[in-house]
Amino acid sequence: QKHAKKIMGFYKHNFQFREPFQVLLDGTFCQAALRNKIQIREQLPGYLDGATQLCTTRCVIKELESLGKALYGAKLIAQRLEVRNCSHHKNPVSGSTCLLSMIEDGNPHHFFIATQDQDLSSKVKRKPGIPLLFIIQNTMVLDKPSPKSLAFVQKLQTNQLVPEYQKQSIVELKEKEGLVKQEGEKRRKRKRAGGPNPLSCLKKKKKKTQEGQEPSAEKKKRRKRKRNR
């Protein structure tokens, strides 16, 4: 559990994983849990230290159905899980292909992948930010962050990379709050404040004309007095 808490802290802090944690199970994981008598629904929340939602896809269930009696128990476990919609309604694909499609585009739904399939595990590790669960003997284990996830976080810390889902959420928040319009209004106000006041300029011109008229009037009066004399 100490090992799992440390890894969960990494995913919570760097990839915004929150409860309830959504765990996608494939047929191999269900079969391993049945063979090792692991109560996934009861044990996994305590191991991950948070509420969990166990789920799968229709492709995984159909794959188990096609394999017959050998995986009948695993099929029953999968049928009791929550079913997440995939894009293979008309043309079902293999369970591993379906689960990989569920974590595309940066894993926006924050899925965990629970599998015993080594080929699927290696493909999951090539994508950053996807926690991987598997079973060793009688124990569920949360795999340590992959090198891809560690490299991704290092780039984030040096401000070299921003995840796609964060870019979209930032744009949506700005549009909802109207921050883009407010920034434009502030810039316009600053430009107006920097210009000269036209009224002050007019007042100064009037004063100058009045001052200039006074001496000319005095000169005319003096000339008239001299003529009269």
- In DSSP notation, the chain reads -HHHHHHHHHHHHHH---SSEEEEE-HHHHHHHHHTT--HHHHHHHHHTS-EEEEEEHHHHHHHHHTGGGGHHHHHHHHTSEEEP-S-SSS---HHHHHHHHTTTT-TT-EEEE---HHHHHHHHTSTT--EEEEETTEEEEPPPPHHHHHHHHHHHTTS---HHHHHHHHHHHHHHTHHHHHHHHHHHHHHHTSPPHHHHHHHHHHHHHHHHHHHHHHHHHHHHHHH-
Instruction: Say yes or no to pLDDT of 207 above 90.
Output: no
- Average pLDDT, stretch 5-28? 95
Residue that the structure tokens 């808490």 belong to: 5
Instruction: Say yes or no to pLDDT of 36 above 60.
Output: yes
Which tokens is 8 given? 């969960």
User: Is 225 or 108 the better-scoring residue by pLDDT?
Assistant: 108
Cβ atoms of 138 and 36 within 8 Å: the answer is yes
- Average pLDDT, stretch 124-143? 95
Give the pLDDT score at 146.
Answer: 96
- Average pLDDT, stretch 119-136? 96
Instruction: Say yes or no to pLDDT of 167 above 50.
Output: yes
Give the pLDDT score at 20.
Answer: 95
CATH class of domain segment(s) 1-150: alpha beta
Which tokens is 38 given? 């692991």
Give the pLDDT score at 166.
Answer: 64
In whole angstroms, what is the distance from residue 164 CA to residue 107 CA?
Answer: 10
Read off the amino acid at residue 121. S
Give the pLDDT score at 161.
Answer: 56
First vs last C-alpha separation in the chain: 120
Rounded mean pLDDT of the chain? 83
Instruction: Say yes or no to pLDDT of 180 above 60.
Output: no
Give the pLDDT score at 137.
Answer: 86
Give the pLDDT score at 58.
Answer: 95
What are 73-111's pLDDT values in tens digits? 999 999 999 999 999 988 999 999 999 999 998 899 999
pTM, two decimals, is 0.69
Give the pLDDT score at 41.
Answer: 95
What are 40-66's pLDDT values in tens digits? 999 999 999 999 999 999 999 999 999
With b for 16 or more beta-carbon neighbours within 10 A and e for fewer, the 54-88 pattern comes to bbbbebbbbbbeeeeeebeebbebbeebeebebeb
Cis peptide before 20 (omega within 30 of 0): yes
pLDDT category at 191 given cuts 50, 70, 90 is low
Alpha-carbon distances, residue 10 vs 20, 39, 51, 130, 187 (angstroms): 16, 26, 17, 11, 40
Give the pLDDT score at 183.
Answer: 45
Percent of all residues in the chain with a pLDDT value above 90, rounded to a whole number = 61
